Structure 1
């Protein structure tokens, strides 16, 4: 049962991510049918201020000994640094050994990674930090596409609002959908979101080391609605199909058809955000031809359906 929650803070803590943990576990919502939590804000030196990433301060009321008996140890985001306080790492390891569930929000995964507890475990963090995280913790099984990963005793979440998803998921898992929905309603957020981080990542045109295909790529972008084949592209570039494929891979890192599909999905995203065109019209304008084909490629690339994407990102 989820009763005692300890939030562990270090210097340069991020206020939003810390606030997410406070909103879900630190506010008395018993009048809404949510069981009360014993919520503890913990630091290495209780009563001493810790800096926040926005120039403010926060003072933990409890020391690291308050992690003892905690059902959940939450680690919010903070400014990434080379090393982490050894006493904090030891306290988190000890809490895990006692059977506590560990939850991180955004860059909090870096502290958990430094404990070694993520070695061999699936996890996630903010997509902007994914490469650095993978380099620092090669034994961890990073999935940068998802909003959160539930490994049972360890839950890691992606950037900012994904921490809300992870916290509500944990409440739902431990206490049921009623308390999770009640908290979400008070926070005015969806009880559960679909998709992953891919829907929030801009998809730029891949960088190229050479410019020999630049005119062809520009023409392809201008004619996305056209049914391009490798043979027709090779004829336009005045190359053999084999030579085109080799140069395309060298300059874009992928095949002509995959590059086209990525750019068509990117164009579909823009139309879903900025236009009132129907899905069939968008499919034709992007070169997919049918709504079914658009949905297939869109979901594979972005992680959610075109309609779900439009509901979230359309300009009102």
Structure 2
């Protein structure tokens, strides 16, 4: 974590400018809050891909032609705005950004970005991807820069949710997960650019497969409560055949049907262990997660966890009470 609050007020903006110069493509920075600048940023390294969750006071950032000639790391950048506003100007076009809009940029095109206004800090998550990793031809990716991109629906929502979850909790990830997460992130950015250009055919087959698989997993997670959720329903929602769906998951850790059952059981297990839901009947929790027959739910739960739903709930309740009385 890099925080300007760790330095005396008079040094904070210069420290931030120095930090930006070391970690990003060189830019000119100015701010009316430079006398006591407040900003913080974490750095997540995912192989060759970098993610920066940040909160900054209003500032103006300029990537000029002179700076580009001096240094060009040849990267694509995407920033998800979570709180506050921003405005970008490329000379021939400009764009306004509000929460869950996505700002796109590459390191070889001049641009001025006003981050925040009226003493309103901006919270965002930035992504930097080396040019050669993007699963699109450069001519296609460049045409996506500056186009309206939203994280409220479709591929943009998948990307936005991924960035928010990734940046909010990194404790569950191992160092070896970094390159794989970076590959998923690169595919999602590639798919978003392709969607904005209506040129999905430009995506590599592998990038298209990974993006489609992630979309399917997200669809399943959102619809676990529906007892009619089956592989055929999943396939129809994504305009593919069930055989195509099965082929997609041949390299995954479970078939589609097994994934649905596993995710339902996991959600039910968590609810049964929740002290706030101790009074909710087991059959209601089962129905909440798409199990229409209590006996079938009990058998599946026992097969997965080696105990019945009721015994699991009692064991978790007992453990919770013991923790509560520990000195």
Same fold (TM over 0.5): no
TM-score (norm 2): 0.28
Identify, as 1 or 2, the structure richer in strand. Answer: 2
